[in-house]
Chains A and B, each alone.
Chain A
């Protein structure tokens, strides 16, 4: 039996939360700018999904590490 070590070192949780959330906010900003600046007919669904996926990966993991930093039991 080995001592369990978590997949990511707990010392990095707060930095990870800040960095990932910052990147996530930038991508979601780009997504919403794209949504409002292009008219309905000229919007590309692939471009929209690409921005949405990137933003949600960063925001999701960022929020998860934020929860860990503040001590919400996960």
Chain B
């Protein structure tokens, strides 16, 4: 038998734990071995980050509030909160007796210290602008009237304040202990309240998350990043395996217990012994962006013709092996704001598309569609779309770039069309914000859309906000700054012997509640 550093021991230890627990004798270390595609960017939440790093950080730190599975906001370190009638004062009551990883108990002073650190420009928190009045309401003060109360005062009303506090890319605005930094304020490591602590981090090899034995779990049921967080393993080892064929082989060999799989591998993995395949429709939006300032594509009729030339159902069926559903909106179907209105779309109608092209006087000018070959079916979507566009008489040309080069084009806005994907936005306004605005990277710059978006950012009344979101969707369909293909389905292969893993729409893996059956 290999040692604890290998996957083989890890897997056998899952079984071993079951065997030994009944006898009350030796208890082997239980380790969940997970295939992970990327190294950690760093340990500083909301600062050293990318999507995968955020997932790891969210196991180590917690904030006052958190996203639930349905993308609503629920309390986490806060017991509850109240909002004043004018919408400008948020009062959080903290939970009592919540320990940090160093054993000290969390108080409002820690919340204030963490907030002040995040807001200091030298911290380089990526979400600072959401709370300074630049991209969100200004937080004018944070007060701590007693050890279990924190009061945030805002300069203006906001519908996104709590959501921004809970964002993964903001590190959940984590409440940290002062020992997270040295005497000069330099970052050391996160001393948080999360259910895991960092263990070994070996770049290019693995990241270890260790169970925090004294974790104070909430009593309400597990619900996304909210609710109870019961850790059922001693350690989660994230094995850095960027190559899908290698991670698949490692899974089949028994060295990995859980891995994310591409739709193309579904049929094979379904036949793997002792394996369950789990899936979830996420908020990752797969789309074809259109540069509305391009001389040819600025004509709305040509963009509408494109939308009607593309059969998104067929594209989605192919790229998801028939498991996903197409939808036209930037808003994910898992959002509580996604209603019948968000299904409204220009139907697939190549004849109508041809008529619109004639009406617009399109005479076969080439339209370049950028794509790349990274995972996520960017290339496949573009290839199928190109064929459909050609069928309708649109001279679409495919240009395959390396991802960094395509991203350059995206940021500068110097392209005609591109196959693109957006990471999950859990607030409905943010689903439109990612494409709406005057920056060169945003494709929808109509003043009416921007004005509607501004409203969606501040109106918190659910009914009123729903009306604004529906109107944004209607305009989006009419103006066609992008052609939504659908929201990506993520698939996981996991051993039958493991229980409790629940993929969810935020596209984040959660390792609490996961353990041997």
Whether chains A and B associate is no
Residues of B whose CB lies within 8 Å of any CB of A are none
Residues of A whose CB lies within 8 Å of any CB of B are none
